[in-house]
Amino acid sequence: MNVLEEIRNRAKSLKKTIALPEYDDERVLQAAEIATRDQVAAIQLVGDPTIIEQKSKSLGISLSGVEIIDHKKDQQRSEYVQSLYELRKGKGLTQEQAEQWLESSMYYACMMLYHDRIDGIVSGASLSSPDVIRPALQIIKTTPGVKLASSCFLMVVPDCPYGSNGVFLYADSGFNPNPNSEELAHIALTTARSAIQLLGVEPIVAMLSFSTKGSARHELVDKVIEATAIAHSLKPELLIDGELQGDAALVPSVGDKKAPGSKVAGKANVLIFPDLNAGNICYKLTERLARATAIGPILQGLAKPVNDLSRGCKAQDIVDQIAVTVLQTQF
């Protein structure tokens, strides 16, 4: 059984409810059918019932067992309008604007999540990343104690002896362009938590750089060194080390040579990149050159799980992201 099958099977046992607000996207409707049939999660489509029913019928998609929430006629809409107004009035939101915001199925799904009517949201097949992330940050916000939201990619590399049998988390590969040392430390801690949630493994975290243990001197290296120290101070029991080059983080013989005595070098399964340039480039190169499967971006650090999708995703990618979202409800 591969790691994605394990994730889907673990998700089934948790019996959570996930909302899909992109109700007029063919891939989303297909994913709703598959996830319901395979019992990955209970699915709620948030949107216009007429459009959903007409489109699913024309495509031959069965939505038996899928609940449809009409966000414009839902019985709890007035409650959500008032709740959103109370939540955002300090930022200048009026009640009229709250009404307008909830014309969006994405915003409505976020209010459903805020009120614990559902357990998570998956969106982004047709919406842009900002249109997914903005309402999540405005309504759901970050987990208390977490400095910032971030993202990771679950990377599954075939025939790879490194990491957790070829499985890694890469962060931040899709969200924060240039985190400072404190932010980078929090990204590392949040991604370590994601490794436990998603993979059920002990996180072994490498803080990556172009230098290993002083082999080069530069302010970019200093940022990684400082981030490692901050992360150590916040969670001393975590296996985390830096600064490490990519080969020192992954290859035992190189790790022993470049960072002797390190408990992380040569064993890392969580790779923390110094900025978005490095993280995004590396995940895409790994995906293409190593023929890896990349699941994400997986948003992390939110108080409740909301996940983005690539706009080029397939229906099965959405199902996998639904399973990931279910696992994020743990802890």
Mean pLDDT of the region 11-22: 97
Is residue 310 scored above 90 in pLDDT? no
Nearest to 29 by CA among 5, 4, 51, 7: 51
Provide the H-helix boundaries in 115-218: 129-135, 181-199
- Nearby residues of 281 by Cβ (< 8 Å), 6 or more positions away: none
Angstrom distance (rounded) from CA 133 to CA 233: 30
Mean of the per-residue pLDDT values of the chain: 95
Mean pLDDT of the region 209-231: 93
Residue 1 pLDDT: 57
- Nearby residues of 16 by Cβ (< 8 Å), 6 or more positions away: 41, 42, 119, 120, 326, 329
CA atoms within 13 A on the CB side of 298: 31
- Nearby residues of 86 by Cβ (< 8 Å), 6 or more positions away: none
The predicted-structure confidence for 109-145, as pLDDT tens digits, reads as follows: 999 999 999 999 999 999 998 999 999 999 999 998 8
Listed in order, the ranges of the chain carrying CATH 3.40.50.10950 are 3-141+303-327
The predicted-structure confidence for 62-93, as pLDDT tens digits, reads as follows: 999 999 999 999 999 999 999 999 999 999 99
Nearest to 250 by CA among 159, 173, 160, 189: 160
CB 140 within 8 A of CB 110: yes
Confidence of residue 2 (pLDDT cuts 50, 70, 90): confident
The pLDDT > 70 percentage for the chain reads: 100
Is residue 51 scored above 60 in pLDDT? yes
Angstrom distance (rounded) from CA 111 to CA 287: 35
Residue 138 pLDDT: 96
Residue 322 pLDDT: 97
Confidence of residue 203 (pLDDT cuts 50, 70, 90): very high
Mean pLDDT of the region 237-260: 96
Residue 216 pLDDT: 87
Mean pLDDT of the region 28-55: 97
Residue 194 pLDDT: 95
Listed in order, the ranges of the chain carrying CATH 3.40.50.10750 are 150-289
CATH 3.90.700.10 for the 3-141+303-327 domain, yes or no: no
The pLDDT > 90 percentage for the chain reads: 92
Angstrom distance (rounded) from CA 330 to CA 319: 18
Mean pLDDT of the region 141-162: 92
Q: What is the CA radius of gyration of the chain?
A: 21
Angstrom distance (rounded) from CA 283 to CA 208: 14
Cα first-last separation, the chain: 25
Confidence of residue 168 (pLDDT cuts 50, 70, 90): very high
Sort strands 167-171 and 270-272 into parallel, antiparallel or unpaired: parallel
Mean pLDDT of the region 19-38: 97
Structure tokens at 78: 């007035």
Quick check: helix, strand or coil at residue 155? strand
Confidence of residue 212 (pLDDT cuts 50, 70, 90): very high
CB 264 within 8 A of CB 239: yes
User: What is the CB neighbour count within 10 angstroms for residue 107?
Assistant: 24
Task: Please give the CATH number for the structural domain made up of 150-289.
Answer: 3.40.50.10750
Residue 105 pLDDT: 97
- Nearby residues of 31 by Cβ (< 8 Å), 6 or more positions away: 20, 315, 316, 318, 319, 322
